[in-house]
Amino acid sequence: MSTVCEFELNEKQEVFEFNKVAKQSNGSVLAKLGNAVVLATVVSEFDNPVEEDFTPLTVQYVEKTYAAAKLPGGFIKREAKPSEFETLTSRVIDRSLRPLFPKGYVYPTTITVIVLSADKDVDLQVLALNAASAALYTSNLPIKKSVAGVRVAKINGEYIVNPKISDMDESTLDLYVAGSKEELLMIEMKSIASEEMVEVDIEAFTKVHQTNEMTEVELVEAISVAQEALKESNETYEKGFESVCKETKDVKLVEFTIDESIINYVRDNYLENIKSAIQKLAKSERATELKEVASLILVDEYCVEKEIEYSTIYEAVSIVKREAVRQMIVNDKVRADGRGLKDVRPISIDTNILPSTHSSCLFTRGETQALVVGTLAGAKDGQMYEILTEKSTSTENFMVHYNFPGFSVGEAKPMFGVGRRELGHGNLAKKALEATIDKDYSETVRLVSEILESNGSSSMATVCGGSLALKAAGVPVSNLVAGVAMGMVVEGDDYSVLTDIMGLEDHDGDMDFKVAGTKEGITALQMDIKLGGIELSVLKEALLQAKEGREHILGLMEEAASEIVPSEALPLIEQFAIDPSKFMVVIGKAGATIKEIIEKFSVSIDLDRDTGNVKVSGENKQNVLDACEHIKTISNNAPERRDHQKKNIDFEKLYSVDEVLTGKVVRIADFGAFVELPKGGEGLLHISKISKQRVNKVEDVLKVDQDVEIKVLKVKKDRIELASAQF
């Protein structure tokens, strides 16, 4: 018989039903919120431990399209490859729950969350984590700590906990926090851009783009709101689930320990060798130097006599290495590469180094190097994707794709498909940059970050390089964005906060978090806390130290931005406005006119019927300008439509081929002159048709307001082409 637990949290009714479905798993639950229903299961193989010292945990979040009463898109009507949202949500659940597993838990474990019924107002990412935690907490695994997720929005200056998805359209903040009743475990944050109407004079207003960066103080305040909500939720869950918890399975937690005497021997006799190796490790994420030290110890008389295995020696070397790194940081305030705690490694920036791309930036910080390449395209060229609760497809017009090949860390392995880590890092960089792009900018932008070398936060190098690549491509941005990776080492009551951490410090530290923002504040943050918790006062201190590093990097980026030389491959974009009522003339019957312009001038054309804006883009500058003039001519030849009865000029009724006329030059372009005709309308007198002799510049022969004798070459209902009468 099933057991139902109901709670009212944040003015919402949550229902968890146990022992109803999936009863062969170690733990399962049906979680309901509104019309959303998710199934979460936990399965662990106690009879199949792995030999390595890690917890083999796999998390899968799966959305079924039947949950929204629709079929999968595409040719095959079955769910296949996980969407980016599914992969990122799986990663969020993994990062939130993995810290709960005790050290030495080496049993293959799978957590599966399936969306069975969807509700467009329910935050599935929050519900999925809460359901997964409930299944884990009530299972027979040796885990008795509840974890919850909360999302915090900022709407009209007020913090809202777990808002409706539709309310996020009004928010300037997207903050997702996971934690227990006492501890913060994971934080993800991004600012959301908006537009505000600003008064420019008594009767006029204008729209102003707002990036909505968060100051360090504001962000800590928002996190404290989330922390209070987490405390309430987890206390409620743990009390409510008490009666449905299964009896904990008595499983062996494997101790991966070695004899203390071996560690002491290595520490007493080879500490200087290890410290020397640490200095070299500061230049690379590879552990080659430690392996060489272990190989040296292996042939030591002491180890030979005691027949100590290489794996044991290497483990002892790693333990001593970790002690040395942490002691240097906490006690000596010096890092492995000789830097102070707040020092940022040397930075070099090169922009537009790839001549055939729209933009590029090679950003190098210490031993981390990212080549970020920008590509622009039309609004219709964006990435189409599906949202479970939406019937139609959506289009993503800003993409950040991150690639991490093996050679970037000296590993001999081929490049495969994109993994969760690559998706996560690209998503973080996108969050950091997206809010700075003007909301009126409708073009598609793709940034690709190729990590060429890595030793500490390549995702933040992607942010820095990506921001400059946007600038180099001419994308309208409010400010440059810089990112910096921070770390922390805690020993007892002492702790040290590190700016611009490298791989060594990430591996041996207690916390790492990445902060990105402009000179005005933070646009994105990602934090994973290995300690099991952090005081908000310490977090504030760390964020303020990150601000110093960010401002230092921004100064260097601004210098590089001032020296950008636009790429010759950058497409030219011209914009102008015409009367929206004349759009049908420009488009023509069944689109014939606009298709002819696109093919003739090799350009792309976007028309905004609401504003009358015409956007013409192409690779050839002259072709773009000629196409613009051509469209203006067609528009000018169409009369003002003050009412629906007035018709366009029909050139075929007014003029005939070879007819000789006298007209007046009204406009001159590089490719010809536009002539006002005596019976109404304008025609193009192309530069090649002005004279039988070669004409280098139209202005050499014709002037505005000059009367010219011309004859009709071609005539259609909506346009006419001319030649000089003597041609």
DSSP 450-467: EEEE-SS-HHHHHHHHHH
Q: What is the pLDDT of residue 726?
A: 78
Question: 3-class SS at 518?
Answer: strand
Question: 3-class SS at 105?
Answer: coil
Residue that is written with structure tokens 């690379």 in the block: 284
In order of 12, 120, 121, 123, 132, the CA distances from 34 in angstroms are 8, 10, 8, 10, 18
pLDDT digits (tens, 9 = 90+) for 150-180: 999 999 999 999 999 999 999 999 999 999 9
Mean pLDDT, contiguous 10-residue spans, the chain (727 residues):
90 94 96 97 95 92 95 87 94 94 94 97 96 97 95 95 93 96 92 79 69 96 95 96 93 87 91 87 75 90 88 91 91 90 96 96 96 92 89 91 92 86 95 94 93 92 98 95 94 89 86 93 91 79 95 97 91 81 81 88 83 82 87 79 51 86 85 85 85 83 89 82 83
Helix residue spans in 26-123 (DSSP H): 84-97
pLDDT digits (tens, 9 = 90+) for 598-628: 998 988 888 877 667 888 888 787 888 889 9
Residue that is written with structure tokens 């590093």 in the block: 549
DSSP 640-709: P-SSTT-----HHHH--TT-EEEEEEEEEETTEEEEE-TTS-EEEEEGGGS-SS--S-GGGT--TT-EEE
Compute the distance between CA of residue 161 and CA of residue 164 in angstroms, rounded to an integer. Answer: 9
Q: What is the pLDDT of residue 644?
A: 40
Compute the distance between CA of residue 716 and CA of residue 710 in angstroms, rounded to an integer. Answer: 17
Q: What is the pLDDT of residue 199?
A: 61
Contact 485, 504 (CB under 8 A): no
Contact 254, 104 (CB under 8 A): yes
In order of 143, 232, 255, 624, the CA distances from 250 in angstroms are 12, 30, 15, 74
For residue 369, the cross-strand partners are 364, 453
Q: What is the pLDDT of residue 155?
A: 95
Counting other chains too, the contacts that 10-17 makes at CB distance below 8 Å and 24 or more residues apart are 10/161, 10/162, 10/229, 12/162, 14/130, 16/131, 16/134, 16/240, 16/241
Report strand pairing: 57-63 vs 36-44: unpaired
Q: What does the radius of gyration of the chain's CA atoms come to, in whole angstroms?
A: 32
Q: What is the pLDDT of residue 642?
A: 44
1 token code pair: 């018989």
CA 634, chain centre distance (Å): 42
Q: How many CA atoms are closer than 13 Å to the CA of 613, on its beta-carbon side?
A: 11
In order of 179, 406, 574, 631, the CA distances from 533 in angstroms are 9, 33, 53, 63
Q: What is the pLDDT of residue 201?
A: 58
Find the helix or strand (DSSP H, E) in which 262 lies: helix 260-281
In order of 410, 562, 648, the CA distances from 639 in angstroms are 68, 46, 6
DSSP 172: S
* Residue in 552, 635, 541 with CA at minimum distance from that of residue 588: 635
Compute the distance between CA of residue 41 and CA of residue 22 in angstroms, rounded to an integer. Answer: 7
Compute the distance between CA of residue 592 and CA of residue 601 in angstroms, rounded to an integer. Answer: 14
456 token code pair: 């500490």
In degrees rounded to 5, what are phi and psi of residue 382? Answer: -70, 175
Spell out the residues 6+ positions from residue 36 whose beta carbon is closer than 8 angstroms to its own: 115, 117, 118, 119, 122, 124, 127
Report strand pairing: 368-377 vs 383-385: unpaired
Compute the distance between CA of residue 150 and CA of residue 178 in angstroms, rounded to an integer. Answer: 7
Spell out the residues 6+ positions from residue 675 whose beta carbon is closer than 8 angstroms to its own: 663, 664, 665, 666, 682, 683, 684, 685, 708, 710, 722
Report strand pairing: 205-210 vs 194-199: antiparallel
Q: What is the pLDDT of residue 378?
A: 82
Compute the distance between CA of residue 192 and CA of residue 199 in angstroms, rounded to an integer. Answer: 22
108 token code pair: 């293959």
Q: What is the pLDDT of residue 186?
A: 92
Q: How many CA atoms are closer than 13 Å to the CA of 316, on its beta-carbon side?
A: 26
Q: What is the pLDDT of residue 443?
A: 87
